Each structure stands twice: as structure tokens, then as C-alpha cells.
């Protein structure tokens, strides 16, 4: 299922870059102070709804900046969107949108607020019975409210793509539509100075795995996408630990460049560019979503748990790209090829651990008893042919999960 691919027509040719359709309509306003300029990009006379999460934006001054920038607009707000945004709380926002005749949505926060806002944008114009069908039945979005984001957590790429992930009970599902790309997104690295260590780490790991999902597949003679992906991986490996070292320091002691590099890397990792024309995997994400739905792990924690074991389980089909990854990312170009792959996988795990993200299910307090539940979830959600070749069947997923314990 091409959940995070916006061009399902891709044919996955084995030896050449596929045809592609690249259009990213999101304007990026990058840098310190850019929130002040948002009024230039919201249509005059719009009734705006500002959507946000649990209150971080009130504590770090971002809310005040947004409020000042919207002085000329009539606006309402909807706070309380939780991490891994929930259907019910988003439907409450849809109700207000309709009652207040809102015509522009402004998401202020992390990926959860951005994703939730995309769902609100689509649900507000949904013409069927239940907007959950956009996710559960993949009913195409035919109309959506315009939206924009002010990003405070570099991680998901939601600020520049058409993806949204929403949770209802134990169903954590994704949809994708060109109609929910943000009109613009503000990336002000100073808004990330207040992130706790867990969220800095989560963001770097998520962006790293997004890159891997579009890179570590099989070669199709795509040197541009490959080297672009490699530059993102190397930047995240270099800058991630530096950002961790600055957590909790006051703004004047923060390294702006480190935060800026991470923020731009995370956007480019999933603004759809590096995935164009190349095979895409996404199995780590699809298995990971079940770990969040059932066990409540953070999104990035699930990726750190799954990816090293998926690399191991798929080392034959991914062999050529694993060797390229070993050489270009970890400098492993000598000696036995199997050993190089082993070390590259071990280095990947070690990088996540350097970022203080645990890489085993047992370290999150769960044991072998969870595997059957996770397998049932994968089956129920039709996740039975994952990966760039659809060769990760339920048996392979079980192997990956058992190795992840």
C-alpha cells in the first residue's frame, strides 16, 4: 500500500528511474522571525482557526508570535490536539469550523497538530456519512479547506507533504491527498529550542528513517536521489548529537545552525522529492504504527525498534543498497561484504541509541506476548505485502518483531 507515496502510478521498474509527477505546492518561510510574515500569505478576510497541541506553544512564546501576526484577521482557536492525534478530538474541531464558518486552518506545533489539521481540512468538506472513511476506506479527498503550518518539531515532514496519520481506538491509519499539502509552512529553528530531549531525538530518528524508507531498497540508477538521501542521513548523524547536547540550555546558548540544519533535513526527508522515481519501502512505518496503536510507543521509538531488524531480515533483497549505505554513510568499503552489512546495521542501531532512543521492545516494558496482537493488527489492516517488492508478508513481519524483542 503506497501510504506515503503520492504517485501510486509508479510502476517500480527494476532497473531505471520510474516516471514521476513532482509537484510540491508548499511555500517554505525559513528562519528566525518568519512567523511575523504569515499574514502576507493568508487570503485577506479569511476566518482563521489556529490549531495546537497541549500547550507547548503557550510556554515558549510561539502562541504570542502567532497572535501578533494574526492581528488583522478574525480568528478562533482549537487547542488540545494530542500526540498521535485522535479522531474524536479532531471531529470536535470540525464542528467548530462549521459553526464559525472558518475558511483557513493554521496548525501550530509538531507533526500531530499538522496531521490533525489536515484531517480537519478534509473532514470539514467530506460529503459521505463518516469522515473516518477517508482513512479506513481510503475514500479520496475531493475538497479540503486550505491550511498552513508553523512547525515547532522537526520530524515528520508533514509541513510539506500531503500525508496525515490519525488514530481511532487501536486503528492508527494514514491518508494522502494533494489537497492537504500546506499552502505555506514556517520553519523557524528558534521555536525548537524548547524541545525536550525525547522529542529532539524522536525527530532526528523519524527523519532518518523517512530517508531510509526511500533509499534503502534496490538500485534504479538514481544518483541524484541517492546522493540527496545520503546528504540528509549524514547531516542527521552529525547534527543530531549536537542538538541533544544543547537540550535545556537557554536560547542564547543554543546553536541556531544545528537546529536549522536538522529542521531543513527533516522537511527534505519527506517533502516527496527524494522518493520520486525510486522504489519506496515504508514497511518499518507500517509495522511501527501498530506498535504505537497497541503499546503506545512514540512514533520514532517504534521505528528504532523495527528498522535494525528489518534491515537484517531483508539483507538479501536490499543487499546492493545496504553495501552502498555501508560505504557512503559509515565509510565501510573494505573487507568481507557480509561483515560490512553487519557493521552498517549495528551502526544504525548504535546511532539511535546515541540519540537515547531504545531499540528493543523489551526495553519499553513488553515481552513476547505482544507479538500475536501486533500480527493480528497487521492482518486486520491489510499489511500483508509490505516493502518495496511486497515481499514482507506476515511471516516476515513476525520474524522482524520477534527479533525486535
User: Considering only residues 115, 206, 226, 298, which one is a binding residue for Zn ion as defined by CB under 5 A?
Assistant: 206
Binding flag, residue 65, ligand NZQ (CB under 6 A): no
Binding flag, residue 280, ligand NZQ (CB under 6 A): no
d(C-alpha 149, C-alpha 118), whole Å: 10
Binding flag, residue 56, ligand NZQ (CB under 6 A): yes
- Which residue in the shown chain puts its C-beta closest to Zn ion? 206
Residue 371 CB neighbour total at 10 angstroms: 17
Closest to ligand NZQ by CB, 222 or 284? 284
Coil, strand or helix: which one is 198?
A: helix
Closest to ligand NZQ by CB, 145 or 270? 270
Instruction: Choose the one of Zn ion, ligand NZQ, none that binds residue 195, judging by a C-beta under 5 to 8 angstroms depending on kind.
Output: ligand NZQ
Please report which helix (H) or strand (E) contains residue 185, including its range: strand 184-187
- Residue 81 DSSP code: P
Q: Which residues of 187-215 are buried (b: 16+ CB within 10 A; e: fewer)?
A: bbbbbbbbbeeebbbbbbbbbbbbbbbbb
Phi, psi of 8 (to 5 degrees): -65, -10
Q: Are 64 and 36 in contact (CB under 8 A)?
A: no
- Beta-carbon-side half-sphere exposure of residue 174 (alpha carbons within 13 Å): 23
- Give the residue among 29, 285, 273 at the shortest CA–CA distance from 161: 273
Site for ligand NZQ, residues 161 to 190, rule: CB under 6 A: 161, 163-165
Site for ligand NZQ, residues 237 to 276, rule: CB under 6 A: 270
Binding mask 3-42 for ligand NZQ (x = CB under 6 A): ----------------------------------------
Q: What is the CA radius of gyration of the chain?
A: 20
Binding flag, residue 195, ligand NZQ (CB under 6 A): yes
User: Considering only residues 26, 65, 190, 191, which one is a binding residue for ligand NZQ as defined by CB under 6 A?
Assistant: 191
User: Considering only residues 5, 26, 152, 284, which one is a binding residue for ligand NZQ as defined by CB under 6 A?
Assistant: 152
Binding flag, residue 83, ligand NZQ (CB under 6 A): yes
Q: How far is the CB of 161 from ligand NZQ (least distance, A)?
A: 5
Strand partners, 262: none
Binding flag, residue 112, ligand NZQ (CB under 6 A): yes
d(C-alpha 182, C-alpha 116), whole Å: 12
DSSP 43-77: PTT-EEEEEE-SSHHHHSSHHHHHHHHTTTSEEEE
Stretch that binds ligand NZQ, among 52-60, 214-222, 310-318, 368-376 (CB under 6 A): 52-60
Binding flag, residue 281, Zn ion (CB under 5 A): no
User: Considering only residues 5, 26, 84, 217, which one is a binding residue for ligand NZQ as defined by CB under 6 A?
Assistant: 84
Burial zone of 345 (CB within 10 Å; 0-12 exposed, 13-18 middle, 19+ buried): buried
Helices and strands in the chain, H and E counts: 14, 8
Closest to ligand NZQ by CB, 63 or 75? 63
Phi, psi of 333 (to 5 degrees): -130, 15
Binding flag, residue 214, ligand NZQ (CB under 6 A): no
User: Considering only residues 39, 54, 61, 241, which one is a binding residue for ligand NZQ as defined by CB under 6 A?
Assistant: 54
Stretch that binds ligand NZQ, among 41-49, 89-97, 111-119, 378-386 (CB under 6 A): 111-119
User: Considering only residues 9, 55, 140, 296, which one is a binding residue for ligand NZQ as defined by CB under 6 A?
Assistant: 55
List interacting residues with Zn ion (CB under 5 A).
206
List interacting residues with ligand NZQ (CB under 6 A).
53-57, 60, 83-84, 109-113, 115, 152-153, 155-158, 161, 163-165, 191-192, 194-195, 199, 202, 206, 270, 285, 299
Amino acid at each position: 500500500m503506497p501510504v506515503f507515496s503520492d504517485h501510486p502510478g509508479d510502476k517500480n521498474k527494476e532497473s531505471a528511474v520510474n516516471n514521476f509527477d513532482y509537484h510540491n505546492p508548499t511555500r517554505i518561510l525559513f528562519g528566525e522571525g518568519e512567523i511575523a510574515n504569515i499574514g502576507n500569505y493568508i487570503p485577506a478576510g479569511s476566518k482563521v482557526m489556529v490549531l495546537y497541541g497541549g500547550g507547548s506553544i503557550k510556554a515558549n512564546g510561539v502562541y504570542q508570535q502567532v497572535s501578533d501576526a494574526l492581528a488583522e484577521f478574525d480568528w478562533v482557536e482549537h487547542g488540545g490536539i494530542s500526540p498521535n492525534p485522535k479522531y474524536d478530538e479532531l471531529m470536535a474541531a470540525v464542528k467548530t469550523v462549521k459553526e464559525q464558518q472558518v475558511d483557513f486552518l493554521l496548525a501550530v506545533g509538531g507533526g500531530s497538530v499538522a496531521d490533525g489539521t489536515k484531517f480537519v481540512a478534509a473532514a470539514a468538506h467530506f460529503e459521505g456519512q463518516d469522515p473516518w472513511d477517508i482513512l479506513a476506506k481510503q475514500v479520496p479527498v475531493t475538497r479540503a479547506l486550505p491550511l498552513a503550518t508553523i512547525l515547532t518539531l522537526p520530524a515528520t515532514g508533514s509541513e510539506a507533504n500531503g500525508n496525515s496519520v490519525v488514530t481511532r481506538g487501536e486503528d492508527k491509519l494514514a491518508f494522502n491527498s494533494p489537497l492537504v499539502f500546506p499552502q505555506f509552512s514556517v520553519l523557524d529553528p528558534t521555536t525548537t529550542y524548547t524541545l525536550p530531549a525525547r522529542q529532539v531525538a524522536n525527530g532526528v530518528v523519524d527523519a532518518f528513517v523517512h530517508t531510509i524508507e526511500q533509499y534503502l531498497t534496490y538500485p534504479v540508477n538514481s544518483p541524484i536521489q541517492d546522493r540527496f538521501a545520503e546528504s540528509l542521513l549524514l547531516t542527521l548523524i552529525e547534527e543530531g548529537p549536537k542538538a541533544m547536547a544543547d537540550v535545556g540550555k537557554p536560547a542564547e546558548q543554543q546553536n541556531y545552525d544545528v537546529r536549522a540544519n536538522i529542521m531543513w533535513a527533516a522537511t527534505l526527508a519527506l517533502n516527496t522529492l527524494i522518493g520520486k522515481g525510486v522504489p519506496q519501502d515504508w514497511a518499518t512505518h507500517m509495522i511501527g504504527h501498530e506498535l504505537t496503536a497497541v503499546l503506545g510507543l512514540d512514533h520514532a521509538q517504534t521505528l528504532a525498534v523495527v528498522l535494525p531488524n528489518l534491515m537484517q531480515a531483508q539483507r538479501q533483497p536490499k543487499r546492493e543498497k545496504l553495501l552502498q549505505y555501508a560505504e557512503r554513510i559509515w565509510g565501510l568499503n573494505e573487507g568481507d561484504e557480509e561483515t560490512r552489512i553487519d557493521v552498517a546495521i549495528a551502526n544504525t542501531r548504535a546511532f539511535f541509541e546515541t540519540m537515547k532512543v531504545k531499540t528493543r521492545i523489551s526495553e519499553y516494558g513488553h515481552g513476547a506476548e505482544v507479538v500475536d496482537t501486533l500480527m493480528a493488527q497487521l492482518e486486520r489492516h491489510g499489511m500483508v505485502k509490505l516493502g518495496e517488492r511486497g515481499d514482507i508478508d506476515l511471516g516476515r513481519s513476525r520474524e522482524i518483531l520477534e527479533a525486535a524483542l
